[in-house]
Amino acid sequence: MKLNITCIPGDGIGPEIVKEAKKVLDKVCEKYGHEISYKDVLMGGCSIDAYGVPLTEETIAAAKAADAVLMGSIGGDTSTSPWYKLEPAKRPEAGLLGLRKALNLFANLRPAYLYPELKEACPLKKEEAEKGFDMLIMRELTGGLYFGDRYTKEVDGELVATDTLVYKESEIRRIAIKAFEVARKRRSSVISVDKANVLDSSRLWRKVVEEVKKDYPDVSLSHMLVDNCAMQLVKNPSSFDVVLTENMFGDILSDEASMITGSIGMLPSASLNDSSFGLYEPSHGSAPDIAGKDLANPIATILSAAMMLRYSFNLDKEADAIEEAVKKVLKEGYRTKDLCLNDEDAFEIVGCVKMGDLIAERISG
Ligand code: NAD
Ligand code: IPM
Ligand code: MN
């Protein structure tokens, strides 16, 4: 098969982790007889530096021309980087949000799975880590607070800032359908997370999700308030299968879920529309504090590449080969620094490049 990939390395650790994911993809393609080509384009802070804007028409066109997009991460230190002196629409994050919208990537799949090999890195109670967990956060990605009107104006002598949270029935329905469809291929359980005790948008969310559920009698549905969900993720993570939620809640809950897998450096993601096209990126950011130091964990990006093979190309065996290689490396005791905060002596600590090498070497054909 021929795989035509557009890459957006981005800022901070982005270029470092994308390089390792390409290394692993190259190895998979070599072993399984596929031809892969990459086109690198700029987005985020590096695009601001080169072109004055975080997202150009050329980058959008290159993404649309590809079968799939593999991304690193964008952005800088939001307190110190000059990018954050620009007006909000010209900052790095506006590039990512603009691309998600331009490609209609409304479904963001963020699987949080505790590798048994990483039990000791899980900060939860020992019993919970022993039980393990395997959940999929299905985050709505092109609506809600991120895309509503926002403005700041002076009222009665003081500044008043407004952000609006808007959801249409159609936007809720299409993500709910994705969640029920994917639940059928997993453990057939959807927990929909909202704040229906306060927000109108959440009450509409619940109503539409209930309607969609009628077409999926084989899938169970329950509703959970988002504050309770944040608590249950720590108390009882194995009770979650598919977690369906809106944009902002999904952003926050997925960072929380990532940490109980051992590190934010473990959580991959796929951003999909209704075609086979997708954008694949780790759930974490550009980690400016460790950029350029060979400290980044590339596994979230490497696992995002596996999701790309699975979702955009139907290459399940090849995706399995990547996931198995990651498992092997962890089993053999190799860790990036983020994965062994408490027990550095028990493991062989490696940098980003070495971790990429180790995983690529273990791809079996
Ligand atoms: P972050 O995810 O970049 O970093 C949070 C913490 O996690 C840092 O201590 C960092 O070193 C650590 N970390 C993150 N990824 C890691 C990895 N792969 N290996 C080891 N450690 C890792 O979040 P932040 O500091 O809040 O944001 C930094 C910048 O990233 C901001 O500009 C933000 O807007 C941007 N951001 C971008 C994306 C994206 O591109 N999708 C996602 C989140 C944040
Ligand atoms: C993510 C990031 C983005 C988001 C930012 C960078 C706009 O945090 O992909 O999780 O909030 O969606
Ligand atoms: Mn986030």
Q: Are strands 278-280 and 189-194 parallel, antiparallel or unpaired?
A: unpaired
Please choose from 43, 96, 101 the residue to mutate so as to test ligand 2's pocket, defined by most ligand atoms within 8 A of CB: 96
Residue that has been written with the tokens 């009698």 in this structure? 217
d(CA 6, CA 8): 7
The upper half-sphere exposure of residue 57, i.e. CA atoms within 13 Å in the direction of its Cβ, equals: 0
DSSP class of residue 16 equals H
Same domain, 70 and 188: no
* Any domain includes 84: yes
> Does the predicted TM-score (pTM) go above 0.90?
yes
* Any domain includes 111: no
Same domain, 101 and 221: no
Structure confidence at residue 84 (pLDDT): 98
Ligand 1 atom closest to Cα of residue 93: 34
Per annotation, catalytic residue among 77, 255, 320, 357: 255
Whether residue 48 has its Cβ less than 6 Å from ligand 1 = no
ipTM over 0.95: yes
Whether residue 269 has its Cβ less than 6 Å from ligand 1 = no
* Any domain includes 115: no
* Any domain includes 11: yes
Same domain, 150 and 95: no
d(CA 234, CA 254): 12
Q: Indicate the SS3 state at residue 289.
A: coil
What is the CATH classification number for the domain harbouring 138?
Answer: 3.40.718.10
Same domain, 255 and 279: no
Last residue of some domain: 260, 295, 313? 260
Same domain, 283 and 319: yes
d(CA 226, CA 202): 10
Of all protein residues, whose CA lies closest to atom 10 belonging to ligand 1? 287
Structure confidence at residue 341 (pLDDT): 65
Ligand index nearest the alpha carbon of residue 142: 2
DSSP class of residue 112 equals E
* Any domain includes 350: yes
Structure confidence at residue 365 (pLDDT): 83
Same domain, 65 and 164: no
Write the pLDDT tens digit of every residue in 153-196.
999 999 999 999 999 999 999 999 999 999 999 999 999 999 99
Q: How many domains does one find in the chain? A: 2
Ligand 1 atom closest to Cα of residue 281: 41
Last residue of some domain: 210, 235, 260? 260
The upper half-sphere exposure of residue 19, i.e. CA atoms within 13 Å in the direction of its Cβ, equals: 15
Phi, psi of 190, rounded to the nearest 5 degrees: -120, 130
Q: Indicate the SS3 state at residue 26.
A: helix
User: Is the CB of residue 7 less than 8 Å from the CB of residue 41?
Assistant: yes
Q: Are strands 158-163 and 150-155 parallel, antiparallel or unpaired?
A: antiparallel
d(CA 52, CA 167): 32
* Any domain includes 116: no
CA geometry: angle at 357 spanning 356 and 361, to 5°? 120
Whether 342 has a pLDDT exceeding 70, the answer reads: no
* Any domain includes 69: yes
d(CA 53, CA 100): 16
Write the pLDDT tens digit of every residue in 226-278.
999 999 999 999 999 999 999 999 999 999 999 999 999 999 999 999 999 99
* Any domain includes 234: yes
Same domain, 132 and 241: yes
d(CA 179, CA 45): 33
C-beta neighbour count of 192 within 10 angstroms: 27
For 350, the domain range is 1-106+275-365
